[in-house]
Structures are given as structure tokens and as C-alpha cells.
Structure 1
Amino acid sequence: MERMLQHWSCQSFGTDCKDLTEMAVRTICLTPIYIFAGPILLALGQEERLVRIARVIALWVIGINFSFVPSFTCQMFLQAQSKNKIIAYVAAISLGVHVFLSWLLMVHFDFGIAGAMTSSLVAHWLPNIAQLLYVICGGCKDTWRGFSWFAFKDLWPVFKLSLASGGMTCLEVWYNSILILLTGNLKNAEVSLNALAICININALE
């Protein structure tokens, strides 16, 4: 249903505007949850030691979440013009930078969680910067006409569609979060969470 709503609203209001609005609304609405992740997890009965780590990671994830707003917009703008090679090249470079920074910050300098999250943050924002520069600097000269206030026209209908689409997307992916929360209440929660994280990541590759 969420995918059908997305395609319909894209046809009605434009792909880039809808995706930008949907991702922005979803990210802004979820930001308070990440900010107050520590008290929320403690209230749900999670181990205090795990909560301390999760609270730090949650603050870093806010920056990563906001990176999806320009990311999805630029990707769909480029895909609409069959410029998929640019997306692939940028993704490959970003992956290489991510691997190198992960080794440098976590293994060489031993920065721990801060190093891992810094690497992830850079890897998420680097493609956005590269794609924006490609679009703005002449890569899409036949379709890019610069920024315009017309992008904010008729935002209220798009906003309402974004709430519905974003809500269904959240319901689609939050079952993993519920599993993680339930696993955190098991004995030896750290090992259980590590095992579940491996399973979820493998499942995401399908």
C-alpha cells in the first residue's frame, strides 16, 4: 500500500518534491525519539549498560537520518534521466571511503563507537554532496534550472500524503525494532542483540 501511494503521489505532485517532503517529515517526527532514546529505553526495561551505548549511537543516527532527505531526492532525479552510472560510481567511492575510514578510526586510532559513527556519517553524506555537485555543475543541464520557490507550491496535499506514506513505511520496518526491544529483555542481552543484528543485516541483503 505504501508503494502504491508513493507511485500515485509521485505522478500527482512530482517525484522529487514528494520524496523530499516525505523523508523530511518522517525524519523530523522521529528526531525526538532519538534525542530521548536513553530515558525511553530505560523505561522499557533495557539494561543500563546497553542504554548508555544506545544513547550515544542514537544521537549520531540523527545526522544519518537527515542524509536520506537529499539522498533519495537526488537519486530519483538522476534515475528519471537514466543517469544510473553516476549513482553507482558515487556509491562505489562512498563504500571505499567508508571501509577506509572505518579501519582508520576504529582499528588504527581506536576511537570505538565515535569512529564507527563518524565513518558512517561521512559515508552517508558524501554521495549527497557528490550528486548535488553533479546536478548543479552541469551534469543535468537539460533538466536542471536551479532552485525555485515553485518547489514549495501545493505542499499541504503533499504533506498529507507524506504522513500516510511515512506512517505505513514506519509500520513496515518497525517490526525489527520491536524484535530488538524484546531481545534486550532477555538474559545475556548483549550476545542476543549481536546475534539478532547479524540476522537482520543478512535478511536486509535479500
Structure 2
Amino acid sequence: MNTVIGRRFHLTYTIQGVRKPLVRNGWSCQVPARRAMERDDEAVAVWKAEVYPQVWVCVGGRGRVTVAGVVCFKPGHLSRFFYRLTSTAPARARRKSFAWQDYRDFLDVTHLQLGGPVVWCWDNLNVHLADGLAESALEYCDWLEIYQFPSYAPDLNPQEGVWSLVKRGLANFADRQPRPPPAGHEEKAQQDPVSPPPIAAAPRPD
């Protein structure tokens, strides 16, 4: 719209400057949503009024889901995506994000999955710059080489385009606080804890 105004009237507006006259004349800056012709608005209204209230939604304060991932490329091979997922129940004294030890283990397991030397590029997240992680990288120098991306340069990181797909897959994942075991099963629950696998791999077709 700003380009059209400039070409038609030879005027220059900022984004907010274009928005204000549009709003004054009853227009919106939002892109109109595309809807299929087969859409049944009555069925949608019924679903919102009757079905949606029955859907149990996890609200804030019930826990947190943290994911770390890496995209792997090798000439002549399919790209691969490794990720590690963890969920934590709300607790003030418990760390909610990955520690540098978790990233160290992630590096090690990724190397075992790939079966060869690894050139690792990542951003300047504070935990990526931890002294303990740097010392571990020196121990892995026979197969690991690390490069840091410049600050605020997401266009250099191919994994930035993958996170949207990962978040889309986690959109319906509700991190619920585990329910207490039935009476008499507390000891068994402590002896046989259930935890998610530490790492998973998913090949990408492109």
C-alpha cells in the first residue's frame, strides 16, 4: 500500500503513517484470510459454541517444554534433524532450560548418530558460551570444530527455518503436571520412572 501511494501521489509514508488513514476510512492493514468455498460457517459456529468448551486446555503455571535441535548437512546425503525434548513441572528451584551439560551430551550423541567428524555452528546463547562447554569442546577436538554465528544474524542459521515447523508440531502438546499415583503404588512409581528418550532423529526429504 505504501508503494502504491508513493507511485500514485509521489508521497512517502511510514508504516504507521499508512495505517492511520486506512483505519480512518474503515480499512484494515491485515491480509484478508483465505477461506475455502466448502466452508460451513454454521458448523464452525456450532463447534465453537458446543465442542470447544469441552476441550481441556492446559493453562499457564503447569509446566514448561524445552527443545533443542540441530540441522545436519552433508554433500550428497539427505539433511537430518536431531532434537532433544524435555518437560519440567513448575518448581522454583529447578532449572527450566537446558544446562551446558545437556548441550555437551547433545553434541556427543549427535556425533555418535552421524558417525563422523562434526562442524558445529550455533548462535551466541549464553549457555553456548559457558566455560564448561568450551572445555568439553577441547576434549572433542579430534572430531568437533565449533563456529559461532555473529550476533543477531538469524539469516545465517538454516535451523531458524526449521523452528517454525517444530513449534507447529508442538502447538497441541500440553505439558501437564503428572497425576499422583494411586494409593499403594508410590514406591513402584519411584522405582520405575518414565522419561522421554534423550534424543530423536528425523530425516528430511529435502
TM-score range, shorter chain: 0.3 to 0.5
Q: Which structure's CA Rg is the greater one?
A: 2
Specify which structure has the higher proportion of strand: 2
Specify which structure has the higher proportion of helix: 1
TM-score (norm: length of structure 2): 0.33
TM-score (norm: length of structure 1): 0.33
Higher relative contact order (CA 8 A, sep 6+): 1
